[in-house]
Homo-oligomer: A and B are copies of this chain.
């Protein structure tokens, strides 16, 4: 599994708009055949920080995501709402240990 963490620091006045746009992106992204998870998380200590936790079956699926209408719409909509450029960090998923477990609870 390819796990991408996208860290976003939004301007406080756009926080709610960012969450709304990102939830819409998430609802569509999770329907992509190669997207196993698309969790949207908001900082518990500072609600201006978001973490998008995106899991793709492989590199091809991660690349395909960036060509979808919902991704492109989200990217353009939020471009001016950030306090600083967003950061993406990629990981190799080690647990759960099977693809089926990634699709369910993991245990």
| Chain B proximity of A104: nearest CB distance (Å) | 6
Interface string of A7-46 (1 = CB under 8 A from B): 0000000000001001100110011000011111111110
Q: A89 CA to B44 CA in the complex, in Å?
A: 8
Classify the interface of chain A: helix, strand, loop or mixed. Answer: strand
The size bracket of the interface on A is 35 or more
State whether A107 touches B31 (Cβ < 8 A).
yes
State whether B106 touches A39 (Cβ < 8 A).
yes
| Chain B proximity of A99: nearest CB distance (Å) | 12
State whether B42 touches A92 (Cβ < 8 A).
yes
| A interface list, Cβ under 8 A from B | 2-3, 5, 19, 22-23, 26-27, 30-31, 36-45, 51, 53, 89-97, 103-107
